[in-house]
Amino acid sequence: MPPLERLFTLEREYHRLLRCAAPGTPDSIVPHTSYALQSGYKRLLRRVGPVTVEDMERLSTRYIASGDARDVLAARDSLRTLFGL
């Protein structure tokens, strides 16, 4: 799985876990950072290369049918912020 797609799936899983474990809780930087460190984001980020808005849209479109749309859209928005898109 390409690094960007792996990051996307990890982000989607983070938002799913947050939504299921603590419904109604806003995203917080502390657990998100901890999750990122434990999941190997640093290694993946080094391997990603240039990312475009179109890349993020393509991934979100592909994954929207495979899970809760809220998690997919939250993952997309989170990675857009991370990459400054």
Where along the chain do its domains lie? 3-83
DSSP string, 23-83: TTPPP-HHHHHHHHHHHTHHHHHHHH----HHHHHHHHHHHGGGS-HHHHHHHHHHHHHHH
Is the pTM value of this prediction over 0.85?
Answer: no
pLDDT-derived band at 77, boundaries 50, 70, 90: very high
Average pLDDT over residues 51-69: 89
CA gap 29, 56 in Å, rounded: 21
Q: What is the pLDDT of residue 26?
A: 62
Q: What is the pLDDT of residue 6?
A: 93
7-42 pLDDT, tens per residue?
999 999 888 888 777 666 666 666 788 888 888 889
